[in-house]
Amino acid sequence: MKTRMWLLAGAAIAMAFAYGCKPKGAQSTISGDAASKVYVPPGQYDEFYNIISGGFNGQMSVVGLPSGRVFKILPVFSVHPENGYGFSEETKPMLNTANGFVPWDDLHHIAISTTNAEHDARWAFGNANNTPRIARVDLTTFKTVEIIEIPNSAGNHSSPFITENTEYVVAGTRFSVPTGTDENRDVPISTYKENFKGHISFISVDPQTGEMDLSFQIEAPPFNFDLARAGKKKSHGWFFFSTYNTEMAHTLLEVNASQKDKDYIMAVNWKKAEEYIKQGKGKKQSVKYAHNVWDEHTHTGVSTIKNEVLVLDPKEMKDIVYFIPCPKSPHGTDTDPTGEYIIGSGKLAAIIPVFSFTKMLNAIENEDFEGTLQGMPVLKYESVLHGEVQKPGLGPLHTEFDGKGFAYTSMFVSSEIVKWNIETLEVVDRVPTFYSVGHLMIPGGPTGKPHGKYMVAYNKITKDRYLPTGPELAHSAQLYDISGEKMQLILDFPTIGEPHYAEAFPASLIMDKQVKFYKMEENNHPRALKGINDARVERDGNKVHIYLTSIRSNFRPDNIEGVRVGDEVYFHMTNLEQDWDVPHGLAVKGANTAELLVMPGETATLKWVPDRVGIFPFYCTDFCSALHQEMQGYIRVSPA
Ligand code: CUK
Ligand code: CUA
């Protein structure tokens, strides 16, 4: 009966979309005390930081939970006028790639660093899908401090997923592509099976500095790698990747990619792979990728192009890669807080399969295989299966956990979240989402220690939830109270860009570790000034270096002459403030393609090549004091 009802509800929502009318009963799940649960009184703080991916907007946003308030938009694979990211000479190298400056990307997933499978929240990692990259954000400054490009990859969707001590950030390629030299890559698309390859990249993370390094790659069959999760606790040392198009079709028109009943979860024994690498079994391959690091001493991005990667061929090693059959195009694959259960979400499947790590190990030990795939063992579905969740809903995508023995799976098609018992596989509750939920998130949900108090649904379709704003609407997120037996919707809040995955962690982990300003004596930027008396203009050939200071409430120098059309003009602005929350900005009328926002104690550079004669005003863009509007100057550009 219940089953029929949700089927009907799903159909009703689908029909409502098709005909553009407002679904009935949308608000019916709100109960009276919802407001008090999300109300954070003025002057008080939220309990959790929620770091949300920005999708095709390329940023991350920082939101408080339970209030849903946005604190920051954090540019990663995007340029951001607000703080000059991607505009200042110092930040441009962060967006460099082997093929030059790429100031846009599609950021889908967040991974917050962990120690012993618990959030330590030192760093947030994010992926770029289009030009495969992984970024690291420092959570004491909320700045992008590193971006590494990933060679042998296209459509870096299956990342960034991390191991329980952040030993590795892992990235699987969505698109298999021909790799190697130009000659090898210029092949007919129809030779997909022979010439295309999938790669899984293991990027190590330095436990002290966080710096990433492309350690090695594992070659894989030309599937599409969709998502992944690391094992944890008992399954630490393993990684699980969801795959689709295991038919290895080069066109997914019609039903090519979903012909088969089952695709695979690819289980990777990365500890073993690591051993083989140590034994020198990796083969060196020529590639080209950028590695961009933010130098903390000079506050400047340094981009290096690297030329080599170590590749392991698992066909030669037999005990690194195993395939677990999983029904129809699995999307998410998630591991529960104990590390015992691996949940696959076949987007087109009518059940949710739950696999047992213990059973998987037994099956491997007993060589209980149903065959091989390109020489690698395929395990028997039944021998790895813990059980199936029956009739969960339609279109299962992602699963999170509350640490109390329950799993929560998002159902895209039937537009709901389903709560089920991991041991008994019984569905115990379901709530509608408005509408078509993609990822869902419980604070600490992917770790060994979830905080099972709130859950957020990041929905793909908004329709009637907010005041309409033309054809495009803010993607809706919804907050649920999951502290009780029944999930309860308590808040809608809009998001920035198109959120996919997000993570949240207790604010107490980082709120007292925030950098409030940079100490002047630690500013080692080569163009930094130590005081207002150092302000000056220097010419060096056709380059003009303007050493500018900003402090409430003036610039020095504020009248600049001697610049000629065609000169390369550099404004090196040092913000001399030594106080929290007092950035100064810089905008120059002629140099209207860039703006700076310089943090206290920091130096940043705006480049301008004037193309016309004139007097050009400049001013501070950030309201910094009562005399902010007086913070201004002129630059005179004379004929060449
Ligand atoms: S994907 Cu977006 S709903 Cu790119 Cu993680 Cu599943
Ligand atoms: Cu400085 Cu406004």
Q: Domain for residue 440, yes or no?
A: no
Which atom of ligand 2 is the closest one to the Cα of 584? 1
Q: Domain for residue 438, yes or no?
A: no
| Any ligand 2 atom below 6 A from CB of 618 | no
Q: Domain for residue 237, yes or no?
A: no
Q: Residue 16's pLDDT is what? A: 40
Which atom of ligand 1 is the closest one to the Cα of 398? 6
More confident of the two residues 259 and 237: 237
Which residue's CA is the nearest one to ligand 2's atom 1? 584
3-state secondary structure of 551: strand
Q: Are 598 and 584 in contact (CB under 8 A)?
A: yes
Which atom of ligand 2 is the closest one to the Cα of 550? 1
Which atom of ligand 1 is the closest one to the Cα of 460? 3
The pair of three-digit structure tokens given for residue 579, joined into one six-digit string = 């106080």
| 3-state secondary structure string across 295-327 | ECCCCEEEEEEEEEEEEECHHHHCCCEEEEEEE
pLDDT tens digits for range 561-612: 999 999 999 999 999 999 999 999 999 999 998 999 999 999 999 999 999 9
How confident is residue 359, by pLDDT bands cut at 50, 70 and 90?
Answer: very high
- CA of residue 394 to ligand 1 center, whole Å: 16
Burial profile 488-527: b = 16 or more Cβ within 10 angstroms, e = fewer: bbbbbbebbbbbbbbbbbebebbeeeeeebbebeebebeb
Q: Domain for residue 323, yes or no?
A: no
Mean confidence (pLDDT) of the chain: 94
**Could you say which ligand is closest to the alpha carbon of residue 332?**
1
Q: Is the pLDDT reported for residue 4 higher than 80?
A: no
Domain limits at 563? 520-638
For residue 536, the cross-strand partners are 547
Distance of CA 415 to the CA centre of its chain: 24
Average of per-residue pLDDT across 300-327: 96
Which atom of ligand 2 is the closest one to the Cα of 625? 2
| Any ligand 2 atom below 6 A from CB of 584 | yes
- CA of residue 608 to ligand 2 center, whole Å: 21
For residue 335, the cross-strand partners are 342
Q: Residue 602's pLDDT is what? A: 98
The closest alpha carbon to 352, from 433, 443, 418, 416, belongs to 418
Q: Domain for residue 181, yes or no?
A: no
How confident is residue 310, by pLDDT bands cut at 50, 70 and 90?
Answer: very high
**Could you say which ligand is closest to the alpha carbon of residue 129?**
1
pLDDT tens digits for range 76-118: 999 999 999 999 999 999 999 999 999 999 999 999 999 999 9
3-state secondary structure of 258: helix
- The secondary structure of 198-217 as a DSSP string is EEEEEEEE-TTT--EEEEEE
Rounded Cα–Cα distance for residues 167 and 379 (Å): 28
Which residue's CA is the nearest one to ligand 1's atom 3? 438
| Any ligand 2 atom below 6 A from CB of 628 | yes
pLDDT tens digits for range 252-296: 886 566 677 889 999 999 999 999 999 999 999 999 999 999 999
The pair of three-digit structure tokens given for residue 341, joined into one six-digit string = 């259960």
How many Cβ atoms sit within 10 Å of the Cβ of residue 464? 16
- CA of residue 552 to ligand 2 center, whole Å: 7
3-state secondary structure of 511: helix
For residue 192, the cross-strand partners are none
Rounded Cα–Cα distance for residues 67 and 69 (Å): 5
The ligand 1 site (C-beta within 6 Å) comprises: 108-109, 157, 227, 331, 397-398, 438-439, 500-501
Which atom of ligand 2 is the closest one to the Cα of 552? 1
Indicate which CATH number applies to the domain containing 580.
Answer: 2.60.40.420
Which residue's CA is the nearest one to ligand 1's atom 2? 500
**Could you say which ligand is closest to the alpha carbon of residue 334?**
1
Work out whether the CA dihedral 215, 219, 224, 226 comes out positive or negative: negative
Rounded Cα–Cα distance for residues 356 and 360 (Å): 6
Residue showing tokens 């198109």: 498
Residue showing tokens 């005081």: 531
What percentage of residues in the chain have a pLDDT greater than 90?
89
Q: Is the pLDDT reported for residue 6 higher than 60?
A: no
Q: Residue 29's pLDDT is what? A: 58
- CA of residue 617 to ligand 2 center, whole Å: 14
pLDDT tens digits for range 404-445: 999 999 999 999 999 999 999 999 999 999 999 999 999 999
- Which residue type sits at 139? L
- CA of residue 628 to ligand 2 center, whole Å: 5
Which atom of ligand 2 is the closest one to the Cα of 620? 2
Which atom of ligand 2 is the closest one to the Cα of 619? 2
Q: Tell me what ipTM this predicted complex has.
A: 0.97
What percentage of residues in the chain have a pLDDT greater than 70?
94
Q: Label residue 366 exposed, middle or buried (CB < 10 Å: 0-12, 13-18, 19+).
A: exposed
The closest alpha carbon to 203, from 266, 158, 234, 144, belongs to 158
Say how many domains are in the chain.
1
Q: Is the pLDDT reported for residue 31 higher than 80?
A: no
- CA of residue 235 to ligand 2 center, whole Å: 53
Which atom of ligand 1 is the closest one to the Cα of 397? 6
The closest alpha carbon to 134, from 300, 291, 302, belongs to 291
**Could you say which ligand is closest to the alpha carbon of residue 596?**
2
Rounded Cα–Cα distance for residues 29 and 480 (Å): 10
pLDDT tens digits for range 360-394: 999 999 999 999 998 999 999 999 999 999 999 99
Which residue's CA is the nearest one to ligand 1's atom 4? 108
- Strand bridging mode 543-551 / 568-575: parallel
**Could you say which ligand is closest to the alpha carbon of residue 174?**
1
- Which residue type sits at 66? P
pLDDT tens digits for range 544-570: 999 999 999 999 999 999 999 999 999
- CA of residue 108 to ligand 1 center, whole Å: 6
Q: Residue 184's pLDDT is what? A: 85
Q: Is the pLDDT reported for residue 18 higher than 80?
A: no
Which residue's CA is the nearest one to ligand 1's atom 1? 500
Query: Residue length, the chain?
Result: 640
Rounded Cα–Cα distance for residues 51 and 112 (Å): 9
Q: Are 178 and 169 in contact (CB under 8 A)?
A: no
Q: Domain for residue 529, yes or no?
A: yes
How confident is residue 183, by pLDDT bands cut at 50, 70 and 90?
Answer: confident
- Strand bridging mode 96-97 / 416-421: unpaired
| Any ligand 2 atom below 6 A from CB of 623 | yes
pLDDT tens digits for range 122-144: 999 999 999 999 999 999 999 99
| Any ligand 2 atom below 6 A from CB of 596 | no
H or E stretch including 25?
none
| Any ligand 2 atom below 6 A from CB of 627 | no
Q: Domain for residue 545, yes or no?
A: yes
| Any ligand 2 atom below 6 A from CB of 586 | no
Q: Domain for residue 554, yes or no?
A: yes
As a whole number of Å, the end-to-end CA separation of the chain is 83
Q: What are phi and psi of 442, to 5 degrees?
A: -115, 135
Query: Could you tell me which residues come within 8 angstroms of residue 9 by beta carbon, excluding any fewer than 6 positions away?
Result: 414, 415, 416, 432
The closest alpha carbon to 549, from 572, 583, 525, 516, belongs to 572
Q: Residue 181's pLDDT is what? A: 79
- Which residue type sits at 68? G
**Could you say which ligand is closest to the alpha carbon of residue 440?**
1
- CA of residue 10 to ligand 1 center, whole Å: 20
What CA–CA distances, in Å, run from 284 to 168, 218, 493, 544?
Answer: 20, 12, 49, 45
